[in-house]
A = this chain, B = another copy of it.
Amino acid sequence: MKKFINNVDDLLEDSLQGFVKAHSDIIQLNEQPHFIQRNDPTPSGKVALISGGGSGHEPLHTGFVGKGMLDAACPGQVFTSPTPDQMMLAAESVNNEGGVLFIVKNYAGDVMNFEIASEMLDCPCETVLIDDDVSLPETHSTGRRGVAGTLIIEKIVGAAAENGMNLTECKALGNRVNKVTASMGVALNCCTVPALGKPTFELDNDKIEMGVGIHGERGHDTIDLINATQIVEIIANAIHDDLNPKKGQKALLHINGLGATPLMELYLIYNLAVQYWEDRGIEICRSLVGNYTTSLDMTGCSITLTLLDDEMIELWDAPVNTANLRWGS
């Protein structure tokens, strides 16, 4: 295994130390337990948004802490849930009379630990569960997974909270955006988890893996290598069937790199996906292309579509100032 590390056990700590030094204008790191929070205190009465999950998906979630998005993020070890004490202390630290909204990707460990934290908290606390991954059926034993659509919910609800939306409304909005968000991923090659030291699965040079998640697990199908148009068609069909949008519907199209895919290829995928949906009368009016929800050094990408109404468009466009998503004033 070749990686830029000193000790596998110190990777998260060493990386967080670098992250906080690079972005000390926006965020700070709480030690023991670890969480990243905004420098500027949560305004009184504003709902405090907190997310978290295993590391290895950077910039998700730590890179999205800041004005207009998350108030705090709790990083676990690589591909490992953070612990309830991280979430509780983060919540106690950033709650300022507006209550706390947890944004949780649907994985058993994350769900359990956020639940424990929310039961032990004294303040009002609600949870939005993200399950945008259409590669697993909704009838799957643990339900669908939360993947790259998560940041879209974080951005839209983050803007709403900044505007003064209350906890109940923020939760409802989060659920509403999650319902109209669908994603699916494909891998050309798997990632190497540092503690394991080798790829979590192997793919021959003429095979690709459809329907992968973000933790180095296998997808639902290993298929022969096909071209980009064919890949986009398989993924977009699954998303389109799930969301079933009407003609004239506006949408946000997010092409997410899983870690090792050149930007040139992500833009090529974006071009094909826009064509796919424009052919079906969908107006792609917002976009996001790049590495946002990664899976360490996995070669692959995911496509996410969110069906937008005017309120969501306004909230998506609202100013945001985080380490890895930044626009507006």
Expressed in whole angstroms, the minimum distance between the Cβ of A125 and any Cβ of chain B is: 29
Is the beta-carbon distance between A262 and B297 smaller than 8 angstroms?
yes
The verdict on A289 contacting chain B, using a C-beta distance below 8 Å, is yes
Alpha-carbon separation in the docked complex, A43 to B254 (Å): 33
The verdict on A287 contacting chain B, using a C-beta distance below 8 Å, is yes
Given contacts A18-B274, A264-B11, contact A227 B58 (CB under 8 A): no
- Report the stretch among A105-113, A139-147, A265-273, A308-316 that lies at the interface: A265-273
The verdict on A80 contacting chain B, using a C-beta distance below 8 Å, is no
Alpha-carbon separation in the docked complex, A225 to B5 (Å): 11
Alpha-carbon separation in the docked complex, A296 to B263 (Å): 8
Expressed in whole angstroms, the minimum distance between the Cβ of A229 and any Cβ of chain B is: 6
Residues of B within 8 A of A290 (CB): 324
Most buried by B among A1, A58, A329: A58
Closest to A260 in B: B260
Expressed in whole angstroms, the minimum distance between the Cβ of A252 and any Cβ of chain B is: 11
Residues of B within 8 A of A301 (CB): 4
Q: What are 14 contact pairs spanning A and B, CB under 8 A? A: A4-B301, A5-B228, A6-B227, A14-B228, A15-B271, A18-B271, A19-B267, A56-B262, A56-B264, A260-B297, A260-B299, A262-B297, A326-B326, A326-B327
Expressed in whole angstroms, the minimum distance between the Cβ of A12 and any Cβ of chain B is: 8
Is the beta-carbon distance between A22 and B299 smaller than 8 angstroms?
no
Alpha-carbon separation in the docked complex, A238 to B37 (Å): 36
Q: List residues 2-17 of chain A with CB under 8 A from any CB of chain B.
A: 2-6, 11-12, 14-17
Size of interface on A: residues with Cβ below 8 Å to B? 61
Most buried by B among A1, A23, A264, A274: A264
Q: List residues 247-279 of chain A with CB under 8 A from any CB of chain B.
A: 259-272, 274
Expressed in whole angstroms, the minimum distance between the Cβ of A201 and any Cβ of chain B is: 14
Closest to A300 in B: B4
Residues of B within 8 A of A59 (CB): 263
Given contacts A228-B4, A301-B4, contact A264 B329 (CB under 8 A): no
Is the beta-carbon distance between B267 and A18 smaller than 8 angstroms?
yes
Given contacts A2-B189, A228-B6, A296-B262, contact A22 B267 (CB under 8 A): yes
Q: List residues 193-214 of chain A with CB under 8 A from any CB of chain B.
A: 205, 208
Alpha-carbon separation in the docked complex, A229 to B4 (Å): 9
Out of B58, B268, B327, name the residue touching A263 (CB < 8 Å). Answer: B58
The verdict on A243 contacting chain B, using a C-beta distance below 8 Å, is no
Is the beta-carbon distance between B265 and A5 smaller than 8 angstroms?
yes
Is the beta-carbon distance between B267 and A15 smaller than 8 angstroms?
yes
Residues of B within 8 A of A127 (CB): none
Expressed in whole angstroms, the minimum distance between the Cβ of A60 and any Cβ of chain B is: 10
Is the beta-carbon distance between A18 and B225 smaller than 8 angstroms?
no
The verdict on A83 contacting chain B, using a C-beta distance below 8 Å, is no
